Chains A and B, each alone.
Chain A
């Protein structure tokens, strides 16, 4: 009988870091990709996706308008959602050990 379950402890630390710090970091990368400016750099007018006139330095505009950036961001956000779904499924599986006779 040991007092500390070391194998549970390291799993909590490692997976805790991966999910608890890794996923938000991934989200931050997604935000950055989303904010990539479109090819024509500071041309404020005529930018496709919601460019408008809001390219000032203190805008809360999240979408930069770069298509590649948008695609990367979408992939990242979907990956995060998938990771969450998978995690929830795992928790459900572990939490409901098969006890049917």
Chain B
């Protein structure tokens, strides 16, 4: 049966997206801990991977939003879901190459919405759900996170001012391990959910499970594994931008940023808001720059990110719409296969491009000189 073949392809693509989601977002949880050397880079990504796995099982509220809250499950087809995923993955890979911590969630949601509009028209999109559960949280969450992180930073420096500098940074490095773990856990509760939601959407569309269903267990498990594997691989390019590019971070700031991110993400997950963990983490890091006297926020880096954020939904939507149009013109299963072959080719090309300016656990902490990939000098900066 053709449907089953496409369904399998969609599930594989969705897990592929989850994987890119993982390595794109390792930085959200671990960038500040790696930057302050609270954790060894490779230990950090391993820890984050495991905790993402746990977090994925912790809450299913966001999966429900994605599965039935954004597009009309009656008007969407499997091809639409596949095309939407293609849009999300493409945008994730492009921003990863550029080292921009953009939102995987918006990439995914944008892709699915674009392909839905291309296939069925604007009325198939549940605009109210989109605005109230995605767009508004996207705007508000970084601001709230920045406020919480600035408050935390101010309090931490104020309370700990009687300690010597070295004792203070030692103490908060220990605290950072805890707070970074909480962010990884929170990331699992929010981001792993999104792919679960999309696979559930595909299952609903295909009639495999009834509408408004929760994610079946095998979906939860496979998504949890895919995202933690991706996290373990580590998106070193994005980690570098977040940890070194935005603000020069000390350990009290790192702890404040991570605590703020974890709190905001976990709270929002419980309410079913599929917010972008990336936006929250970035907001928090900027907040720590605002909350400490004399700290400098590199607004040009922040501006570049914000630009990418604005473009994420529409850009992924365009790719998703294009993929849907292409698949539709070819027709049925072949169309989806052609889409995915093109997607694989694009992914391969981007991977090949990334080899030219490699960022990994060895040079992730090198001095920020305005570019994602450090100068290829053998001597590591002090």
Contacts and interface: CB of A to CB of B under 8 A. Distances in A.
A95 B58 contact: yes
Given A31-B160, A59-B164, A95 B151 contact: no
Interface in B226-272: 252, 255-256, 259-264, 266-271
Contact of B148 (A1, A17, A90): A17
Interface string A27-69: 1110110110000000000000000000001111110000000
Nearest to A25: B155
B67 interface: no
B266 A91 contact: yes
A89 to B, nearest CB: 10
Contacts, number: 139
B59 interface: yes
Chain B binding surface, main DSSP class: helix
Contact of A35 (B144, B167, B169, B264): B167
Contacts of B271: 5, 8, 11-12
Q: Chain A at the B interface: mostly helix, strand, loop or mixed?
A: helix
B256 A35 contact: no
Interface stretch (B39-47, B87-95, B128-136): B128-136
A100 B287 CA distance: 43
User: Nearest 10 CB-CB pairs, A to B?
Assistant: A95-B59, A20-B263, A21-B152, A60-B166, A28-B159, A19-B263, A20-B260, A25-B155, A20-B148, A60-B170
Nearest to A15: B267
Contact of B166 (A1, A12, A58): A58
Interface residues of A, number: 44
B180 interface: no
B175 interface: yes
Given A25-B155, A60-B167, A94 B59 contact: yes
Contact of B259 (A19, A35, A58): A19
A24 B220 CA distance: 32
15 contacts: A4-B132, A11-B271, A19-B262, A21-B260, A24-B152, A24-B255, A25-B152, A27-B175, A27-B255, A57-B164, A58-B164, A60-B167, A60-B170, A96-B60, A99-B214
